[in-house]
Chains A and B, each alone.
Chain A
């Protein structure tokens, strides 16, 4: 049983579908049943059933489980990942190996690595540098981003991503940050003046791997395991290619809606990162035992 929160059109569903199809084609008596659109568990409530074996697999933003394993908060840290190729290098680094050790404590393993990027939207103006958000009511995805934005002088309003659209429309919100896919699926382009997408450099990257219960995997026969791993490898390269296409596709949708497209300069990026150093990075290191070592490992990946 595989559960995730997205619709069947989403790239993350496709990743799950590839694994299910490939395994079925391998004919190893392994049938993966996908429960999309949170039809089984609520998004944030998938990790614990997974770790207890009540759920076998999930496509899951790992930072959701940051309250259970604080080190997972590093998988949604501003400026830690620069672009998709960098993300791929990060996935195969000692940093990710350290995180996988943490997952193993919960009887969880990674089948398919993958990062998705996101950007900023502004109702009235473009959000590129930290000074742009000062005084704006902003909705951020993830606590490390909230901390950084507060550091930049923004006011944080917390709400579900499904409420962004109407909050932008009525003027409750001035700015928001989330994934490229969510911007498109919630049709945020209808309500904003400017979009700052992920391009050569981007602040917002979220690690959303396909996870599996480790004991369940180890209980499989050798053929089943190898079929699963082969399927996972195929899905992983698809995931990376699609992740890159998503950003470009979102830009096209916003452009067609007549929204201005802005770009972050290297200086902007450095300015954001400087704020993040003082806020979210600092907070992470202080609140997580062994946090500095993990952060150093992540920053060491070039």
Chain B
């Protein structure tokens, strides 16, 4: 099986679905002629033309709103928000409109929309090109929020998202685009939304995470293995809806839980995962739930030193894992 980059897997998912279904189209800033600022949509404009790879005017609320209208009409838009940081002007359309379309029409309408956006730091993107925004959306009923960590998952989950009858936010860690390469089938396949993946089984501690941090956790787990600490790593893959069964199974495997995300700590996905564990598996725990997250400062700093402080890395993850193992 061919190995493909994370970014190639995303592009393949889009182009294969577009070939299969004329109602699928791409819209966003610089997605056409330029092929996207990260080149995710490279080659699509040439293959599908300007009506299916729409270079939208620079207005995120319109990108979301137009996509919602087109989705309700029966098309299947894949809207790209150039950086997750820029999704905020579109929040009303996403939260008040897309997420509630089915509900407020009592199932009369649906909104089969995908909003893709690159998120995350560590690439010197500074305050407004580095944010993690999943916590703003995973709280909202009516939305699904997907955050794949591997190329295989990126392709399979994106195809699921495109085919999903409800709005899906698809957040791609920009650091993964060209860092991660794994085996990706050439054929079309799906990975179910709402299902976590056990990346590693272990007996001493459990790490629950997603996105880039899944790679850091696996790297740290390799390191700890040499020290005799065995770690179970659960990659959530979807942060809304959360895979409660997989979370509880992961907790029961070791009784010690570390939740990791790059997003800041307060009110993050880790808070909900932690609450689920407290509600359903408190007596399976042998240690207090631990969280390793970004600090609660407003955004990723520009200064490289400060950015290194803000970002997690495999060493910081290993330190936290050792600490939990020693409890």
Whether chains A and B associate is: no
**Residues of A at under 8 Å CB distance from B?**
none
**Residues of B at under 8 Å CB distance from A?**
none
